[in-house]
């Protein structure tokens, strides 16, 4: 008998193999979510058709990338990963100008470019583009879909993965689905959460929080013309989608895969915590959300395996961890999630000059590593800072209390607290709950604005050190560091939004300044604050890339180093661990460390300064000590 002739593997074969793999991880979540309404086999058939359609349309170069990442699914966990987050208009004006600025990103070491909302928004106020009217069109003010594809190609050719926002908790009320729903089409009315009277909305409100209590109080809006209440968690013009409807799952996935075929490699899934609602709960972080996210990730992995998902859930520690996959979701849910707790704890330790709360929170609530997933680490982003510190955690550091410490941080970062170096502003203060959030750019919150006004060179120096300490923290803690546009140059608060009627009621625009290219062009001059910051950030990222121990799949262990001014964590690579220290004060600090002879600080390439059995850290210094 002769062996059957070897057959060439076709694209259909690849699809069939991936479907076989994905089906296993799809059936559970889809049955739990939708089994009550539709026969799961029928839903899987429809899903398979949808995935086949997009796989068939997938450009050959992206299919090649798919294969590469099937073979190396850990690609995003490497220590070489560095992300840059920017608004296209505020960075370069329009999409077709982006390619000529790739060299700037490359110089910083960027491998992942998050282009802030760039799909067609509703006209007028659009929550910074998070009220999308058409997910299949680029915002005409930025360019066309052809420009988008072209710039994605150029980014990829430079080793940079394009990332965009996928807003899936809500659409703009001007989106085609919402327009049809408003016009009375029952199929599309079932895409949203609509109510004939206020009985249920009132009942839900009893356990809901308000996201924008000042500018958009409440979670429901009444529309006279249709005689219905609509669930609107954020602004009135953002209608919450009804994820209990399997048609919504299929329609959103269809959009994701359409955009994946235009060259998107990372989807930032916006406001995912809110996707599922249940009476009597806060309607955030419900278990079904994790089923939805697993199903979206696994379906994407069948038709576009090069693509990964980043969950945006800005929630407390115990709610955050599951977004990276725990229990039956381990290794199957979103590959990335924002580490807002690291961010909050950075600011908390900086104001208090005390890292005990940070050590407690990051050691107690977070695992040392995840399965095929990691955090996106950041210090600032386009949003406000919510002081997510629980009563229980605060109680660990007596006499600290939750409300007391949150109030202190809000006071400190507006600059009202006596002696504060920060210049920020309150956001959405809610007298009913006492909640106060904070706006401000990294540099302004870290002291550069106040120091500059005072023309105090020593204060400027300390502010720069704080900024670099934060960047060194996110570059070494484990996860992909996100550099928020302008922070690499120390750009400060931009107060001009107040003069723009479309932006004026949202003070988050304060931390969204336009790129300052005159500073960028002189970034090599280290006698200027912006040059020192830029070169510092660049050096930190380059050092990260050279240290295998800083890869995101290497466990991170937070340790108490015995000096409350210093935050300490170890990266537990099997080959030569790295111990990282960060001094959160303007004083020189010492830490008792059992360091073998010959240990070096990766950041300087030199042995650390020692005083007997102690290592010495200068003001706001970081040490990355490799044995």
Positions marked catalytic: 270, 312
Query: Between residue 153 and residue 172, which ones bind ligand GLC under the rule CB under 6 A?
Result: 167
- Give 174 or 354: the residue with its C-beta nearer to ligand GLC: 174
Residue pair 262/148 in contact (Cβ under 8 Å)? The answer is yes
Q: Is 323 in the site for ligand GLC (CB under 6 A)?
A: no
- Give 270 or 586: the residue with its C-beta nearer to ligand GLC: 270
- Cα 485 from chain centroid? 14
Among candidates 339, 301, 493, 333, which has minimal Cα distance to 413? 493
CB of 306 to ligand GLC, least distance (A): 24
> Which residue stretch of 123-131, 281-289, 302-310, 451-459 sits at the interface with ligand GLC (rule: CB under 6 A)?
123-131
Nearest residue to the partner ligand GLC, using Cβ: 130
Among candidates 520, 444, 437, 56, which has minimal Cα distance to 257? 56
Among candidates 55, 142, 132, which has minimal Cα distance to 98? 142
Q: How many CB atoms lie within 10 A of CB 191?
A: 24
The answer for residues whose C-beta is within 8 angstroms of residue 431's C-beta and 6 or more apart is: none
- Give 229 or 274: the residue with its C-beta nearer to ligand GLC: 274
Indicate which single residue of 89, 127, 265, 449 sits in contact with ligand GLC (rule: CB under 6 A).
Answer: 127
CB of 372 to ligand GLC, least distance (A): 25
> Which residue stretch of 125-133, 460-468, 523-531, 576-584 sits at the interface with ligand GLC (rule: CB under 6 A)?
125-133
- Residue that has been written with the tokens 């790295």 in this structure: 578
CB of 546 to ligand GLC, least distance (A): 32
CB of 509 to ligand GLC, least distance (A): 11
Angle, CA 242 vertex, CA 238 and CA 244 arms, to 5°: 160
- Cα 230 from chain centroid? 28
- DSSP H helical segments within 280-390, as ranges? 287-303, 317-320, 340-352, 356-364
> Which residue stretch of 127-135, 288-296, 390-398, 555-563 sits at the interface with ligand GLC (rule: CB under 6 A)?
127-135
Q: Is 240 in the site for ligand GLC (CB under 6 A)?
A: no
- Give 271 or 400: the residue with its C-beta nearer to ligand GLC: 271
Q: Is 236 in the site for ligand GLC (CB under 6 A)?
A: no
- Report how far residue 187's alpha carbon sits from residue 526's, in angstroms, rounded to the nearest whole number: 61
CB of 130 to ligand GLC, least distance (A): 3
Q: How many CB atoms lie within 10 A of CB 61?
A: 12
CB of 423 to ligand GLC, least distance (A): 21
The contact mask relative to ligand GLC for 195-234 (x = CB under 6 A, - = no) is: ---------------------------------------x
Q: What is the four-CA torsion angle of 441, 127, 171, 324, rounded to 10 degrees?
A: 10
Asked whether the bond before 265 is cis by omega within 30 degrees of 0, the reply is no
Q: How far is CA 34 from CA 39, 293, 364, 604, in A?
A: 8, 14, 35, 55
Q: Is 271 in the site for ligand GLC (CB under 6 A)?
A: yes
Q: Is 343 in the site for ligand GLC (CB under 6 A)?
A: no
> Which residue stretch of 68-76, 126-134, 290-298, 332-340 sits at the interface with ligand GLC (rule: CB under 6 A)?
126-134
Query: Between residue 302 and residue 321, which ones bind ligand GLC under the rule CB under 6 A?
Result: 312
- Give 354 or 506: the residue with its C-beta nearer to ligand GLC: 506
Query: How many residues sit close enough to ligand GLC to count as binding (CB under 6 A)?
Result: 10
- Report how far residue 242's alpha carbon sits from residue 139's, in angstroms, rounded to the nearest whole number: 25
Residue pair 133/122 in contact (Cβ under 8 Å)? The answer is yes
- Give 226 or 503: the residue with its C-beta nearer to ligand GLC: 503
> Which residue stretch of 6-14, 84-92, 122-130, 324-332 sits at the interface with ligand GLC (rule: CB under 6 A)?
122-130
- What are the residues facing 568 on neighbouring strands? 559, 581
Residue pair 462/453 in contact (Cβ under 8 Å)? The answer is no
Using CA of residue 333, residue 334, residue 336, residue 340, what is the dihedral sign? Answer: negative
- Give 127 or 291: the residue with its C-beta nearer to ligand GLC: 127
Q: Is 553 in the site for ligand GLC (CB under 6 A)?
A: no
CB of 212 to ligand GLC, least distance (A): 8
Q: What is the four-CA torsion angle of 524, 525, 526, 527, rounded to 10 degrees?
A: 180
Query: Between residue 286 and residue 305, which ones bind ligand GLC under the rule CB under 6 A?
Result: none
Among candidates 447, 363, 354, which has minimal Cα distance to 405? 354
CB of 349 to ligand GLC, least distance (A): 24
Helix (H) / strand (E) containing 259: helix 246-260
Q: Is 270 in the site for ligand GLC (CB under 6 A)?
A: yes
CB of 384 to ligand GLC, least distance (A): 9
Query: Between residue 357 and residue 416, which ones bind ligand GLC under the rule CB under 6 A?
Result: 382-383
Residue pair 454/322 in contact (Cβ under 8 Å)? The answer is no
Q: Is 130 in the site for ligand GLC (CB under 6 A)?
A: yes
- Give 58 or 310: the residue with its C-beta nearer to ligand GLC: 310
Residue pair 436/416 in contact (Cβ under 8 Å)? The answer is no
- Give 128 or 440: the residue with its C-beta nearer to ligand GLC: 128
Q: Is 128 in the site for ligand GLC (CB under 6 A)?
A: yes
Residue pair 586/546 in contact (Cβ under 8 Å)? The answer is no
Q: Which residue ranges make up the site for ligand GLC (CB under 6 A)?
A: 127-128, 130, 167, 234, 270-271, 312, 382-383
């Amino acid at each position: 008998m002769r062996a059957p002739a070897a057959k060439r593997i076709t694209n259909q074969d690849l699809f069939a193999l991936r479907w076989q793999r994905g089906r296993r991880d799809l059936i559970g979540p889809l049955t739990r979510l939708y089994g009550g309404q539709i026969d799961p086999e029928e839903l899987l058939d429809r899903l398979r058709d949808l995935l086949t359609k997009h796989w068939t349309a997938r450009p050959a170069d992206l299919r090649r990338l798919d294969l590469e990442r099937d073979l190396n699914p850990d690609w995003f966990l490497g220590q070489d990963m560095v992300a840059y987050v920017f608004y296209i208009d505020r960075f370069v004006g329009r999409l077709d100008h982006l390619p000529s600025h790739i060299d700037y990103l490359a110089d910083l070491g960027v491998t992942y470019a998050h282009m802030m909302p760039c799909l067609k928004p509703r006209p007028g106020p659009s929550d910074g583009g998070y009220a999308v009217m058409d997910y299949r069109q680029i915002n005409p003010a930025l360019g066309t879909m052809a420009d988008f594809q072209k710039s994605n190609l150029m980014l990829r050719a430079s080793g940079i993965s394009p990332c965009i926002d996928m807003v899936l908790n809500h659409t703009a009320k001007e989106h085609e689905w919402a327009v049809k729903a408003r016009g009375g089409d029952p199929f599309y009315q079932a895409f949203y959460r609509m109510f004939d009277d206020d009985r249920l909305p009132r009942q839900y409100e009893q356990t809901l929080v308000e996201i924008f209590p000042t500018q958009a109080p409440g979670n429901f809006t009444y529309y006279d013309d249709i005689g219905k209440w609509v669930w609107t968690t954020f602004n009135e013009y953002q209608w919450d989608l009804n994820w209990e409807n399997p048609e919504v799952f299929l329609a959103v996935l269809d959009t994701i895969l359409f955009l994946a075929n235009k060259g998107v490699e990372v989807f930032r899934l916006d406001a995912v915590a809110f996707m599922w609602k249940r009476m009597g709960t806060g309607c955030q972080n419900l278990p079904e959300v994790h089923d939805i996210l697993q199903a979206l990730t696994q379906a994407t992995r069948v038709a576009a395996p090069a693509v990964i998902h980043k969950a945006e859930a800005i929630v407390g520690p115990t709610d955050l961890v599951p977004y990276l996959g725990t229990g039956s979701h381990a290794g199957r849910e979103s590959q990335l999630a924002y580490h807002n707790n690291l961010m909050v704890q950075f600011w908390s330790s900086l104001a208090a000059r005390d890292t005990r709360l940070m050590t407690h929170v990051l050691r107690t609530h977070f695992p040392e590593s995840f399965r095929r997933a990691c955090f996106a680490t950041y210090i600032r982003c386009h949003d406000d800072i919510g002081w997510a510190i629980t009563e229980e955690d605060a109680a660990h550091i007596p006499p600290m209390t939750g409300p007391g410490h949150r109030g202190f941080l809000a006071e400190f970062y507006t600059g009202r607290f006596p002696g504060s170096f920060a210049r920020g502003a309150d956001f959405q203060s809610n007298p009913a709950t006492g909640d106060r959030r904070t706006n401000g750019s990294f540099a302004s919150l870290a002291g550069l604005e106040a120091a500059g006004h005072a023309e105090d060179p020593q204060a400027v120096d300390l502010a720069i050190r704080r900024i670099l300490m934060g960047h060194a923290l996110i570059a070494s803690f484990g996860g992909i560091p996100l550099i928020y546009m302008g922070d690499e140059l120390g750009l400060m608060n931009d107060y001009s939004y107040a003069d723009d009627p479309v932006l004026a009621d949202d003070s988050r625009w304060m931390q969204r300044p336009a790129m300052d290219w005159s500073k960028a062009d002189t970034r090599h001059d280290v006698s200027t604050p912006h040059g020192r910051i830029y070169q510092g950030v660049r050096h930190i990222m380059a050092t990260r890339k050279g240290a295998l121990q800083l890869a995101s799949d290497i466990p991170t262990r937070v340790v108490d180093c015995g000096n409350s001014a210093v935050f300490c964590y170890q990266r537990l690579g099997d080959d030569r661990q790295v111990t990282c220290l960060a001094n959160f004060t303007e004083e020189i600090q010492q830490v008792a460390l059992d360091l073998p002879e010959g240990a070096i600080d990766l950041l300087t390439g030199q042995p650390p300064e020692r005083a007997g059995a102690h290592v010495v850290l200068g003001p706001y210094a970081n040490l990355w000590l490799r044995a």
